[in-house]
A and B are shown apart, each in its own frame.
Chain A
């Protein structure tokens, strides 16, 4: 699992420590990747800065997107079960030789 936001590495490190996260939290301060993936939420931050919209992807070992969740509603986000179910589906299909 990898998380990405516009936060600085220092902010992400604070978050990682305070929450005890063990996965990498990447910093895309200039929205290079967020823009390339067309996920910029223009003026999304209260101070008017651009940030990432909430979005989740499952990418298989060949680099293909297997599952994507682009919520249209702010308050409705992907649940861990959904990502796990997508992960299970991916493993089942790779085991069956697809």
Chain B
């Protein structure tokens, strides 16, 4: 019973803490679902045992509390992953599409120097790791632009 409850909690908690680092396990929680499922089974078996043989193993009350907690916890997780995460982002119908021209902009970088999209597209790009011939590469072939939520 204890193992089961622990496994359910571990299955939920390990997703944001650890498994999100692996794209395959983040897009779909392959590692976490089995943990939660196995934990639930163990917890249920423990609970059945506690109710059938109260003389052998105690834990009717505590086991029930654990089970409810585990159920709520994993329910919250599954809701968050499969429903919550899919309905919060805006549709962005007017975002630039493939084939359209990207609107130019100028914004300050982390050292407050202005950077424009046009400027970045027209400037020669030299990565710090570039060596020899790479350094002479004339012009940026393109820019990968990443909008992200920020680290607040």
Asked if A and B bind, the verdict is yes
Residues in A with CB closer than 8 Å to B92 are 38-39, 53, 55, 70
Kindly report which residue of chain A lies nearest to residue B150, judged by CB atoms: A5
B residues contacting A by CB (< 8 A) are 20, 23, 26-27, 81, 84-86, 88-90, 92-105, 107-112, 115, 117-118, 120-122, 127-128, 139-152
Bound state CA distance, A6 and B151, in angstroms?
9
- The 0/1 profile, CB within 8 Å of B marked 1, for residues 64-92 of chain A is 11111011111111010001000100110
- The 0/1 profile, CB within 8 Å of B marked 1, for residues 29-60 of chain A is 00011101111111011000001111111111
Bound state CA distance, A6 and B24, in angstroms?
28
Kindly report which residue of chain A lies nearest to residue B148, judged by CB atoms: A5
Chain A, interface residues (CB within 8 Å), range: 35 or more
Chief secondary structure at chain B's binding surface: loop
**Is B115 touching A26 in the complex (CB atoms < 8 A)?**
yes
Residues in B with CB closer than 8 Å to A64 are 99-102
A4-B107, A26-B108 known; A59-B143 Cβ under 8 A: yes
Bound state CA distance, A73 and B78, in angstroms?
14
Kindly report which residue of chain A lies nearest to residue B127, judged by CB atoms: A22
| 7 pairs, A vs B, C-beta closer than 8 Å | A2-B144, A27-B109, A32-B107, A37-B147, A39-B90, A54-B149, A63-B117
Bound state CA distance, A28 and B116, in angstroms?
12
**Is A56 touching B146 in the complex (CB atoms < 8 A)?**
yes
A residues contacting B by CB (< 8 A) are 1-7, 9-13, 15-16, 22, 24-28, 32-34, 36-42, 44-45, 51-68, 70-77, 79, 83, 87, 90-91, 94
Kindly report which residue of chain B lies nearest to residue A63, judged by CB atoms: B101
**Is B117 touching A59 in the complex (CB atoms < 8 A)?**
yes
**Is B150 touching A52 in the complex (CB atoms < 8 A)?**
yes
**Is A5 touching B115 in the complex (CB atoms < 8 A)?**
no
Residues in B with CB closer than 8 Å to A11 are 150-152
Kindly report which residue of chain A lies nearest to residue B149, judged by CB atoms: A51
Q: How far is the CB of A17 from chain B (nearest CB, A)?
A: 9
Known: A5-B148, A70-B95. 12 other contacts (CB 8 A): A6-B150, A9-B108, A52-B147, A54-B147, A54-B148, A57-B144, A61-B139, A63-B104, A63-B118, A65-B99, A75-B27, A77-B26
Bound state CA distance, A49 and B99, in angstroms?
32
